Amino acid sequence: MGKKKVIKKSQEELLQEKESIESKIQKQQTKRTKITRLNEATLFIYSSYNNTILTLTDMRGNVVAWTSAGRIGFKGTKKGTPYAANRVAEVMAQVIQKFKIDNIHVKVKGIGSGRESAIRTLVAKGVSLQSIEDVTPVPHNGCRPPKPRKL
């Protein structure tokens, strides 16, 4: 296989890369709608085996911000882990504090392992949760079974 070459970047290259990332973030933020302050908002946490997605909406249901484990940079099976959900919740907590939202109503959906860890991280970051509701769909009796086969 041979030795692998490790590429180390200089301080100047790291600073340029950081500035380019920050400028991209600022451009994305200026494209979004200007929202000065929300009193209440709803946070939807969708957690599956493969990913964790957090969506912040106002009380009418209009999406204000969203983030997911894939958007942060996790790939493959790592997106469905509790650690990835922690990181996603940290990013969402920063967004909530930026918009100065007072009360958050949380609706959790899905069966993934990131459900509880995302909520715990939000509470640890100082977000005031008013309610937590589980809206996971539950099947009741399912579909009608097929007719018996005629031979």
Quick one: 37-134 is in which CATH superfamily?
A: Ribosomal protein S11/S14 (3.30.420.80)
Q: What is the pTM of this model?
A: 0.71
State the pLDDT at residue 13.
78
User: What are the sequence ranges of the domains in the chain?
Assistant: 37-134
Record the tokens describing residue 108, joined without a space: 């959790």
Confidence of residue 26 (pLDDT cuts 50, 70, 90): low
**What pLDDT digit, counting tens, does each position of 47-58 carry?**
999 999 999 999
Confidence of residue 29 (pLDDT cuts 50, 70, 90): low
Cα-Cα-Cα-Cα dihedral sign, residues 24, 27, 33, 36: positive
Which whole-number Å values give the CA distances from 70 to 39, 66, 80, 105, in the listed order?
29, 12, 9, 24
At residue 141, does pLDDT exceed 90? Answer: no
**What pLDDT digit, counting tens, does each position of 58-84 carry?**
988 899 999 999 898 888 988 999 999
**What pLDDT digit, counting tens, does each position of 3-17 carry?**
766 667 677 877 777
Which whole-number Å values give the CA distances from 74 to 8, 41, 102, 110, 119, in the listed order?
22, 27, 30, 19, 19
Main-chain dihedrals φ then ψ at residue 105, nearest 5 degrees: -105, 120
